[in-house]
Every structure is written in C-alpha cells, then in structure tokens.
C-alpha cells in the first residue's frame, strides 16, 4: 500500500505550499531603496532642467524624420510641421506609425475590392461581346497556322 500513502504525502505537501517561494525571516525587507531613480527635492539647490526635459523617468526624446513629421501632422497630433518640437517621445511616434500602418492597410483593402469589382465588370462586358479566352486562343492559333502555311508555301 505504498502507492496511496505516497500520493497522500504529495497532496499534503501541496496543501502546505511546499513549492512556494520561501518566506523571509521576521524583520527583513525585500524592498530596495533606489536613490538614483528618485525625483530631486523641490527645495534643493539643484539646477532646473531645460524645457525639453520631461522628467527623470522618461526615455530621452526621439528626433522625428521628415516622414515622421508628415505622419504626425496627417494623424492630427500637430496642426503644422512647424509646431512639432525637436524631440518627440518615441511612444508618440510609434503610435502614429501604427495608426498610419492601419490606415494604409484599410486603403489597400478598399483598392483590392475596387480592382475586383472592375475585373468583374470588364469580364461581363467581354462576355457580352463574346470575347472569351477560348475564342481568343482559337483565333490566335488559326492566325499562326495561316502564317506557318504561307511561309512554307513561299519557297
């Protein structure tokens, strides 16, 4: 009867959370004081950051290219290209690029549907004129046979 007894021990261990992270002893803390990432004190004599500086926890800005500036204006983030600052947060540029990417995909879907519609209409018009691929192929083969017979008959 070692099988059921062993299974009972395993269940008891699982109920006691034997596999959980070990708890620390009383009085110890897992919190680490991070002095390099704290905001500067308001009353300290530290120099004030420039107007381009957006805080201690942000990633430095991204200098947008000419196309990025156009995308920023097209998506409505800024009114004019002149209004765009020298550096823009990379998250803003990523959001604008994603929005443009979605708009381009929608445009491609619409153009594909219009192309399909144009092909259906032109195919129906060709069928009304009795211009099928089979008839065109038969005409081309007849013309090639005539040219082959005329070249053979000339010598």
- Residue 139 tokens read as 């005409």
- Residue 66 tokens read as 């000419």
pLDDT in tens, 60-113: 788 999 999 999 999 999 999 999 999 999 999 999 999 999 999 999 999 999
* pTM: predicted TM-score of the whole model, two decimal places: 0.49
Q: Which pLDDT belongs to residue 18?
A: 46
Q: Which whole-number Å values give the CA distances from 78 to 15, 64, 87, in the listed order?
A: 59, 13, 13
Strand partners, 88: 62
Residue that wins the pLDDT comparison between 134 and 106: 106
Q: Which pLDDT belongs to residue 153?
A: 76
pLDDT in tens, 29-73: 555 455 555 555 555 555 554 555 555 565 678 899 999 999 999
30 CB-near residues (< 8 Å, 6+ apart): 24
Q: Which pLDDT belongs to residue 155?
A: 61
């Amino acid at each position: 009867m070692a099988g059921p007894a062993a299974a009972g021990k395993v269940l008891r261990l699982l109920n006691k959370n034997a596999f959980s992270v070990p708890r620390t002893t009383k009085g110890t803390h897992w919190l680490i004081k991070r002095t390099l990432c704290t905001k500067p004190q308001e009353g300290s004599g530290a120099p004030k950051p420039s107007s381009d500086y957006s805080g201690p926890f942000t990633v430095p800005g991204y200098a947008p290219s000419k196309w990025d500036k156009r995308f920023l204006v097209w998506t409505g983030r800024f009114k004019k290209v002149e209004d765009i600052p020298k550096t823009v947060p990379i998250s803003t540029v990523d959001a604008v690029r994603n929005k443009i990417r979605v708009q381009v995909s929608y445009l491609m879907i619409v153009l594909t549907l219009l192309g399909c519609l144009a092909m259906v209409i032109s195919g129906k018009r060709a069928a009304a004129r009795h211009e099928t691929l089979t008839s065109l192929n038969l005409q081309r083969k007849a013309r090639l046979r005539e040219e082959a017979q005329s070249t053979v008959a000339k010598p």
